[in-house]
Amino acid sequence: MIVFEEALSIILNKAKVTGALPDDKCEWVSLENSCGRILQQTVIADRDMPPFHKSAMDGYACLYSDLVSATPLRLLETIPAGGVAKYPVTTGTCSKIMTGAALPLHADYVVMIEETREEEGFIYCTSQPKSKTNICFKGEDLKAGAPVLHPGCLIQPQHIAILAAVGCTTIRVAKKVRVGIISTGDELTEPWESPQVVQIRNSNGWQLLDQSKKAGTLATYYGIARDHEDSFIPLLSTALYENDVVIVSGGVSMGDFDIVPDTAQQLGIDILFDTVAVQPGKPTTFGVGANGFFFGLPGNPVSSFIQFELMVKPFLMQLMGAHYAPVSLRLPLSHPFTRKQAERMAHLPAKIDPSGSCLLLNYHGSGDINSLQQANCLARIPLGVTFVAAGEPVETILL
């Protein structure tokens, strides 16, 4: 049994790639299809941002010196956003200007409408001018030619805005990693089937399928393999042939019918570890084959969910060149926590309460899938720790 940190290191070292990928691992997609993909180019600003001096609000473009001397300002024109000023601003004059509009020549200040009054074509400032100019200056955000996004960026809506702003409409991204999902167990039925008294519906397969898709992969569900080689070997062989990564849930523990690790080895998978000092998820298994990778996750749904988020997802993202690690915070625990045994690192379903504390959810063990429905984080209890007092900070991993 190895500790979590060692297991994660083994996994990520096998991913090998971070950052720019070779051409055969990349493809070009349109702007509207790029969200959720892994960027594989350096995106450059094609112009200054802002591209011109512009007004930060609705007001009057003028000379700051006129405001200091309280000079009445003769109104020249109104400049809408997207419009071009007809007249330069000179001493004793101003132009009404809308938010985002380009400043007229010579203007060095925008006084807010709320701080003025208009009388017979003249504008009077009703308050002392402030040091803030209310101007967004050309190039203050970005200079033309500056890099704005880099390879390995997971493209999110805020990145879409940047891509659009610099005119990048065709984007080089990592090809989606192909992931195959298999569930194992004689006790399983599919959700649309009526289970017998001693059967349960397969939740892991569908959970892992959508976790994989959410991670940006091209995921395929291969169904349920029964607890004997005649059922499992054909399904696993097909999945290994057709995918870059295969994830199997169930059949990885020490029971008489847990055949997954041995069968994987028969098919050429080199098992690098098969037990990890974590709770839940001790029998998590990882192996490498000639053409891909293999994960064996526990059959209990909370275990498989958590180990996917903490181990499998970072691996998949790194295969696609992403710079990814789960976001974690140190937050005070809302209530005291006690456990009898501490030979494994624990990850407990939790949520962040309104006070900013980590609140442990009602949790009956790794089979209690209901405990995850409100969880937005996991509380990590280190190996060797049996008690955490209320208010003591714990590492809180966001989901």
Q: Which residue has the higher pLDDT, 330 or 15?
A: 330
Q: What is the per-residue pLDDT for 250?
A: 87
Region 116-137 average pLDDT = 94
Determine what percent of the chain is predicted with pLDDT higher than 90.
84
- pLDDT, tens digit (0-9, with 9 covering 90-100), for 55-81: 999 999 999 999 999 989 999 999 999
CA angle 10, 14, 15 (to 5 degrees): 120
- pLDDT for residue 16 is more than 80: no
Q: What is the per-residue pLDDT for 19?
A: 56
Instruction: Check: CB of residue 331 under 8 Å from CB of residue 398.
Output: no
Q: Which of 43-57, 129-143, 357-371 has the lowest mean pLDDT?
A: 357-371
Task: Check: pTM over 0.75? Answer yes or no.
Answer: yes
Torsion, CA 186, CA 181, CA 308, CA 355, rounded to 10: -90
Alpha-carbon Rg for the chain in angstroms: 30
Residue boundaries of the structural domains of the chain = 4-20+175-319, 29-47+143-174, 54-136, 328-398
Q: Which residue has the higher pLDDT, 394 or 368?
A: 394
- pLDDT for residue 256 is more than 60: no
Per the listing, tokens 């990349």 go with 26
- How confident is the prediction for the chain on average, in pLDDT? 94
Sign of CA dihedral 136, 141, 145, 151: negative
The correct CATH number of 29-47+143-174 out of 3.40.50.150, 3.90.105.10, 3.40.50.720, 3.30.830.10 is 3.90.105.10
Architecture per CATH, domain 328-398, reads as: Beta Barrel (2.40)
Q: Which of 144, 145, 59, 41 is nearest to 100 (CA)?
A: 59
Q: Which of 173, 147, 222, 198 is nearest to 31 (CA)?
A: 173
Assigned CATH for 54-136: 2.170.190.11
Region 95-109 average pLDDT = 98
Fold agreement (29-47+143-174, 328-398): no
Protein fold of 4-20+175-319: Molybdenum Cofactor Biosythetic Enzyme; Chain A (3.40.980)
- pLDDT for residue 142 is more than 60: yes
Q: What is the per-residue pLDDT for 375?
A: 95
Spatial distance between the Cα atoms of 279 and 344, rounded to a whole number of angstroms:
6
